[in-house]
Amino acid sequence: MDDPFQTIHADAWDPAPIDVPSINTRASSLVRAHIEQLRDVGVREGMGARSTSILLLGPAGIGKTHLFTRLRKQVGPRAVFVHTRPEVGVDPSPRHVLSATLRSLRQPVIQQQHRQIDVIVGAMLATLEGGRPRFPLSFIDDCLRQPLDTQREILSRAVAQVEDRFPDVSARYLEHLLRLPFADRLHQRALFAWLSGEEPSQAQLDMIGERVALREDDLILALRTLGVVATFGAPIVLVFDQLENLAEEEGKTGRIIRHARLVSELRDTVRGLVIVQMALDAVWMQRIHPVLHASMRDRLEEKIEHLALPTPEQRRELIERWRSALPEEENSKPFPYPFSTRQVDAWLGTPGMTPRMLMQSCGEAYQRRALPDAEEAEPVDTSPDERLAVAWQQLLGRARKCIDEAAAQAQGVAAESIRAGLLSALSVAQVKAETGETEGAPALRIRMADGGCDMLFVQQAHHRSLARVLRAAIALADERKVLLLREQAFAIPPTWKEVHKLLGTFTGKANASFLPIEREALARLLAVERLLGAARSQDLSDDAGKVIAYDTVMDWARRTLGCNAWGPVEVLFGVTTSPVSAPPAPRPPEPPPPPPAPNAATAREHADEAFPRATVKTLADGPVLRELRKLRVASIDRLVREVRACEPMATRATVMEELARLPIKRFGSAIVALEEPWR
């Protein structure tokens, strides 16, 4: 790691987190104590202790998500960890939790070669076979060396014993779960898809001997079965992060209530869980706590821990730990290099300094370490635009990784996640949309004077369910405009002849359109949902470490991202020429109007283009030319800001150099426009 100060936001699955364990040690110790309590009861008595709920509250940047990575490192294979967060337009539900749990079971155990699924299965099999449940990975390794017939006998005995002891489990679900560590890659993909509540393809169903995917009624039973497995020595630490995103605009409380009911049901009916909720303290106390009924508070606020700011001594230790990750030629020098004693003393004495603010201050000083003293003394530019541009590029990278990981599992991105991204893009474009469902397919609707427009997200992996949605879409197209959206890389197989026939019938209707969404367009949707979610969670900070307000982030997105020209949004605008105006929300307030959308030819030309990379391009497709085509007329200062927002490497000098080579018309000394529109 050349620059440890760039990891401003904790990665829940960081394989090597930098940590000072004494910071908020009470919170991590509380979670570990509950883990050990569940393990002891399960191993000693063979019965599952009831699940517990812990609520962690603190300000932005205090290190809530970092606690997750710390616990993974401290606990290791003694528990399995699940990390989930609310998404726009996705209601809290057993399906959402089950999917997050199976997705997390694919994650590696920190500092181990095994995955978390090996931990939970190994602990149970070791307990039932008279082995050592505190060494689940060793037991799995021993089983893998056994002949296949012996492995089958071990699994069969385990299923029978669990059924006898816990009659409320699903033997079918348990059998498939226990097979995972022993299956080959293709069978693992099929098993993970079925176990997570997703829809496997017909080939995957045939591979694992199932006829259909899990039904809605099966989901809680599946979670209970997972909980029973967890009671044998590897409890599930179920973390709900960024719960401030449950708070809706216009004072709505539906998502808060649904989350509270879900957590209450999990705590009361599923064994083997340590439920950890994380939220901003102010949002929880002002928006969430007042909505909860007394019984909900008893469960969700069973144990509350308020996270504290690091002491000056802990801040100093943090700086030392971060220094240790610098290149050897730098960390070998005496402390506080590369910082000055004056800088470190200022950081240690600043009141209200969160770990995130401290890291950003260190990062700024590290970047400016080679500047002359006169320049170093200049105040830091606290304009949020550059920080937001960098955050956007990072979120795009994570979105691409998410898409590629789904493709590696022969799956598409979850339809609910795509809808969440489009809802976020529409909110940037100041368009109100409603969510719904059509034959199991997530949907959204824009109401219009002429009847409205529906978009269905058709990510089905099975031909029968996709055909069912298409029939409903054909009927719906007789009433209003309908758009179907599917990931382009998740193509409809040519053998699905009935589906292709129905799709042809659908697209033959005047009000119907089918839109394949390519990788970069999909990445932008996923990234903008994450961006707005991070803004609501106060996870975006300027150069001085101060939180960038949600309204500021939204204004930047409207000025910079050009959501109106994104493929799915542009298509919606093409069929929604007169949307019904929605009542204004009290938050965020109406920003200035967005810049004019590019002309149709430019929009088509760039519909599939990724957000510009941080490189200076040639004149043919340079950032100055592209931004000036969007703006048509702009001040030089505005043009520099727009170019730097999408090209962090650009400077005013490079902008002026490219501008000098373009055919432009000047209006005075500060306003420029392309010559083309004026000829």
255 and 332 housed in the same domain: no
Cβ distance 242 to 537 under 8 Å? yes
567 and 629 housed in the same domain: no
Evaluate if residue 673 carries a pLDDT over 50: yes
* Residue 453, pLDDT score: 87
pLDDT, averaged across the chain: 85
Could you write out the three-class secondary structure of 241-291?
CCHHHHCCHHHCCHHHHHHHHHHHHHHHHCCCEEEEEEEEHHHHHHHHHHH
Task: Order the strands of the 671-674 sheet from edge to edge.
Answer: 633-635, 671-674, 664-667
* Sequence-ordered list of residues with C-beta below 8 angstroms from that of 250, at least 6 positions apart, any chain: 583, 585, 586
- For residue 188, count other CB atoms closer than 10 A to its CB: 18
164 and 223 housed in the same domain: yes
Evaluate if residue 631 carries a pLDDT over 80: no
283 and 297 housed in the same domain: yes
Using DSSP's 3-state secondary structure scheme, residue 127 falls into: helix
300 and 324 housed in the same domain: no
> Using CA atoms, how far apart are residues 171 and 26, in angstroms rounded to an integer?
39
Using DSSP's 3-state secondary structure scheme, residue 320 falls into: helix
Evaluate if residue 523 carries a pLDDT over 50: yes
Residue 4 lies in a domain: no
161 and 191 housed in the same domain: yes
Residue 355 lies in a domain: yes
* Beta-sheet strands, E only, within 385-540: 434-438, 441-446, 453-457, 481-487, 512-517
Question: Domain containing 656: what range?
Answer: 623-674
Q: Are strands 633-635 and 512-517 parallel, antiparallel or unpaired?
A: unpaired
* Residue 615, pLDDT score: 36
33 and 173 housed in the same domain: yes
Residue 454 lies in a domain: yes
* Residue 370, pLDDT score: 59
414 and 278 housed in the same domain: no
* Tens-digit pLDDT profile for residues 45-73: 555 578 999 999 999 989 888 899 999 99
* Tens-digit pLDDT profile for residues 433-472: 889 999 889 999 987 666 678 999 999 999 999 999 999 9
Using DSSP's 3-state secondary structure scheme, residue 602 falls into: helix
pLDDT bucket at 579, cuts 50 / 70 / 90: very low
153 and 93 housed in the same domain: yes
Q: Which among 357, 372, 381, 309 is positioned nearest to 5, based on CA atoms?
A: 357
271 and 288 housed in the same domain: yes
Indicate the number of domains in the chain.
Answer: 4
Residue 204 lies in a domain: yes
* Residue 653, pLDDT score: 65
Q: Which among 79, 41, 47, 105 is positioned nearest to 234, based on CA atoms?
A: 79
Start-to-end Cα distance in the chain: 53
Q: Which residue has 């592209």 as its token pair?
A: 626
Residue 553 lies in a domain: yes
* Tens-digit pLDDT profile for residues 308-359: 999 999 999 999 999 998 888 888 999 999 999 999 999 999 999 999 889 8
* Tens-digit pLDDT profile for residues 81-129: 999 999 887 889 999 999 999 999 999 987 778 899 999 999 999 989 8
Evaluate if residue 616 carries a pLDDT over 80: no
> Using CA atoms, how far apart are residues 34 and 50, in angstroms rounded to an integer?
11
Q: Which of 108-122, 379-393, 587-601 is the least confident region?
A: 587-601
Evaluate if residue 586 carries a pLDDT over 50: no
Q: Which two three-digit tokens encode residue 675?
A: 């010559």
Q: What's the pTM? A: 0.77
* Tens-digit pLDDT profile for residues 194-214: 999 998 999 999 999 999 999
Using DSSP's 3-state secondary structure scheme, residue 512 falls into: strand
528 and 637 housed in the same domain: no
Q: Which two three-digit tokens encode residue 203?
A: 């080939």
Residue 400 lies in a domain: yes
Cβ distance 453 to 576 under 8 Å? yes
> Using CA atoms, how far apart are residues 624 and 78, in angstroms rounded to an integer?
55
